[in-house]
Amino acid sequence: MLPPEVSSLLVGRVRRGNYIFVAWKGDHGPRHVHVYKDSKLVVKWDLENGLPMKGKPPKRVVDLIHKLEEEGLL
């Protein structure tokens, strides 16, 4: 569990498959999500432009990002 001062900044933390998707309130633009697997960053994904900001995601991660956006979770 995260401390309250950290939890209040968290917009979303979603687990899908072996990946964890994390977004933060007030994080720098563009709006993006951090994707982790086994505690390692897989990709930092620009949600506004649909492009990786850091890392090279497998197609499965990109598909999961689109699905989470459709569900309103990102």
pLDDT at 9 over 60: no
Give the angle 35-37-43 at the CA atoms, nearest 5°: 35
Using the structure block, give the residue that is written with the tokens 């007030």. Answer: 26
Average of per-residue pLDDT values in the chain: 85
Model confidence over 36-69: pLDDT tens digits? Answer: 999 999 999 999 999 999 999 999 999 999 999 9
Q: Range of 53's domain?
A: 4-70
Count Cβ atoms within 10 A of the Cβ of residue 38 and give its class: 0-12 exposed, 13-18 middle, 19 or more buried.
exposed
pTM over 0.75: yes
Confidence category of residue 12, pLDDT binned at 50, 70, 90 = confident
In the numeric block, the tokens 């979603």 are attached to: 14
Number of domains in the chain: 1
Closest CA to 47 of 30, 61, 25: 30
Q: When comparing pLDDT for 45 and 7, which is higher?
A: 45
